[in-house]
Amino acid sequence: MKKLAMLFAALLAYAGLAFAGVNINSATKDQLETLEGIGPVKAQAIIDYRQKNGPFKSLEDIKKVDGVGGATYDKIKGEIMLSGRTEVKKAAEPTKVDEKKAIDKKAGDDKKAADQRAADEKKAADKKAADDKKKAAEDKKKAAEDKKAADKKAADEKKAADKKAAEDKKAADKKAADEKKEAGKKTADKKGAADTKAADKSKAADTKADAKKDAADKKADDAKKGIDKAAADDKKAIDDKKPK
């Protein structure tokens, strides 16, 4: 009789297991975690996929969820469904071994979740570092380009300033040369006029002196002629007085 009762209890338990199932289109995270191989991370991934893509159209679609592969699907395909009310199978009274397994599983799931978070954080940090490095390189390149442009502008401005200074010096030198030439011409003209005036004055003085000399010579000649004539007259008078 006792054996029959035990067999009946086993049959009831089997029937309960047979009719239990998880609707992957409506199950909560906790309900999804009752499936073998589905922890908190995969359960959340199933919900995220469902929210993003809508209800699963076939049981095998669950393999499209990140982390749920063929091996996991093979373990749960007999426990999942696309419609109907989710009936989570009652777990047998946990033994110490089961409790340890559950603790180990939770610890493993927690570690996996922590590792995933750490990986995500590292990935984000690496991306930020790469972005910062890229931005620093771009900033350095821009700074180099700005410096090159500034150096070119300064060189162009210096070249223009040097050219203008050279042109100004050339113009100043030409002006100075022209002024010097003009001053030399004026000096030469003034000297020429002075020389001409001096020559004219000298010529006038020479002419006056020559006239004065000519007058003196004429006067001396006239005087000499007068003396000679007087002497001749005296001689003639004497000669005329001599007895013939």
* Owning domain of residue 31: 7-92
Query: What is the rounded CA–CA span in Å between residue 86 and residue 72?
Result: 19
Q: H-helix or E-strand containing 154?
A: helix 96-241
Assigned domain for 218 exists? no
Question: Is the entire prediction scored with pTM above 0.85?
Answer: no
Residue with the two structure tokens 């209890």: 9
pLDDT at 155: 63
The answer to whether the beta carbons of residues 82 and 59 sit under 8 Å apart is yes
Assigned domain for 235 exists? no
Specify the CATH number for the domain of residue 16.
Answer: 1.10.150.280
Assigned domain for 68 exists? yes
The answer to whether the beta carbons of residues 87 and 19 sit under 8 Å apart is yes
The residue among 6, 64, 7, 72 whose CA lies nearest residue 35 is 72
State residue 215 phi and psi, 5-degree precision.
Answer: -65, -40
Please list the ranges in the chain whose pLDDT falls under 50: 1, 4-19, 143, 161, 165
Per-residue pLDDT tens digits for 195-236: 767 667 868 777 787 778 888 888 888 888 988 898 889 888
